[in-house]
Amino acid sequence: MHISVVYTVTLLYCIAWPIIKLLHLLLVLLTPLYYGLAFLLQPIGYLGSFVGSALGYPFVLLARFETIYIYVGVAILVGIITGGVLHGLFTFAAGALRIRGAETKAKGPTAAQYRAARRRKKLQFQSPSPLMSAYTASGLLSPSLSKSDREGLSQRGLLAQTIAEEDDSDF
């Protein structure tokens, strides 16, 4: 070996030796602290391992059913393509043969007509008849049986009505 290489290696060793010994001493002093912390944090490590396994379990199940997913996916694709082709063929055939589906007309009144009829009916019942107002004004009909009172009762439902109970005793 050349003398300059020997001197360079010796010089580097003399510079690195105190640093290596200092790091070795630091390692010896910190080893008990490392083992103590490792011992105290061991439950957290096990808990983290368990949580990781639990979170990864659904992927394990997915891997087990991989064949079924492929089969169902291919079946869906075949169904969509077949449905699209059949729809296109029937639409083309109906257009070429000028076949139209029978248009069904909705029977009965529309929603607007139904609401208008209800409003008319409600207004008709709200306006008092001339005969009723004559009887009420003359006092022949008691005020408790007037139409406004009856409407109030009917609006409250079954809770406003009295239920008469009979004594059906077999004794």
pLDDT in tens, 65-117: 889 989 999 999 999 999 999 999 999 998 888 887 666 566 778 888 888 88
Contact 94, 100 (CB under 8 A): yes
What's the pTM value of the predicted model, to 2 decimals?
0.32
Query: Is 79 within the bounds of a domain?
Result: no
> Would you say residue 166 lies in a domain?
no
Per the domain annotation, does 25 fall within a domain?
Answer: yes
The answer as to whether 14 is a domain residue is yes
For residue 164, being part of any structural domain is answered with: no
Query: Is 143 within the bounds of a domain?
Result: no
CA pair distance 16, 18, nearest whole angstrom: 6
Instruction: Give a yes or no: residue 89 inside a domain.
Output: no
Residue 169 in any domain: the answer is no
Encoded tokens for 33: 């602290």
* Structural domains of the chain, count: 1
Burial class (CB in 10 A: 0-12, 13-18, 19+), 147: middle
Question: What are 13-40's pLDDT values in tens digits?
Answer: 999 999 999 999 999 999 999 999 999 9
Query: Domain containing 54: what range?
Result: 1-61
Query: Which of 150, 168, 169, 170 is closest to 160 using CA atoms?
Result: 150
**How far is it, in rounded angstroms, from Cα 59 to Cα 55?**
8
